[in-house]
Amino acid sequence: MKIFAKIILITYFLSCFQTFQAQFLSASDTSESSVRRYKSIINSNKEIVQFIENSLASKGLPKHLRNLALIESHFDKNITSHAGAVGVWQFMTSHANQYGLTEDRRNDLYRSTKVAVVSLGNLYKKYNNWVTVVAAYNCGEGNITKAMQSANSTQYHVFSKYLPTETINHVKKYLNACYATGELNSVLTNYNSSRMKKIFDSRSGRKEGSFLSETEINAGFNLKIIAEELNVDMNKILSWNPGIEEDLQTNGESIFYLPTDLMPDFLLRKNIILSRSIKEGTK
């Protein structure tokens, strides 16, 4: 019965985490006019849309990526942006050349779509969520790396403030388009799931293979008391949370990571831990 009860608690808290995480990203325009506009563009380009969706599906990629072409070009293969991007997928020359697509072939729907599918698949292998993939497709992997380093985070909702405004707006358009096509929940679920998966960063000392969930704590919490209450070695707490002591001291608060199966225990004992921390801190 104890094991069963713990499973229920873990399921409950994971559900709460996903609900909380979904608040980080959402559609910014759910108006009827926006939905009608996106649907109208899709309905006016059914053959192109079907070809793109089939190309994506053939490589195991989600059909909602068709919305990237939707917001990039409205499926117009002859469009050229002010920056010189060409075609349905708005390829810059340098990006196209990486995949053997010549400059004069960027407006070729067949060839450019095949290249886009490969490019998007490679980006997903690197970032593991479609939101970051859309951002990287717009501004380039170099800008994503710089933003992640500036924010000291690989999570889009954290590092996005360091991205170009155009890219932030591009992601917003994508989420709006996915809302219009009824696929927003799939995109957000994918993003939230990626945040719950293995968090590995050898540079910061996090252990490979740790399935971590997150919450927030303030400077009132004593890490040693957290370790005692959870019956966990203090060194493990620090390995899951590199730099947390400095964050708490400098900012007064920090994101706090624990293995998924430990997080419910922490949340249930959170008030007790805080009371002990405050009480023992005044001695």
Q: What is the pLDDT of residues 24-72, one digit of tens each?
A: 688 999 999 999 999 999 999 999 999 999 999 999 999 999 999 999 9
Beta bridge partners of 91: 86
CB 260 within 8 A of CB 14: yes
Evaluate if pTM is beyond 0.95: no
Residue 200 has what pLDDT?
42
Q: With 70 as the cut, is the pLDDT of residue 138 above it?
A: yes
Comma-separated ranges of CATH 1.10.530.10 domains in the chain: 25-196
The Cα-based distances of 136 to 96, 109, 123, 141 in angstroms read 15, 21, 8, 5
**Band of the pLDDT at 82, cuts 50, 70, 90?**
confident
CB 41 within 8 A of CB 66: no
Cβ-defined contacts of 244-250 (< 8 Å, 24+): 248/217, 248/218, 248/219, 248/221, 249/219
Q: What is the pLDDT of residues 5-35, one digit of tens each?
A: 444 444 444 444 444 444 468 899 999 999 9
Task: Give dist(CA 258, CA 273) in Å, integer.
Answer: 15
25-196 fold = Lysozyme (1.10.530)
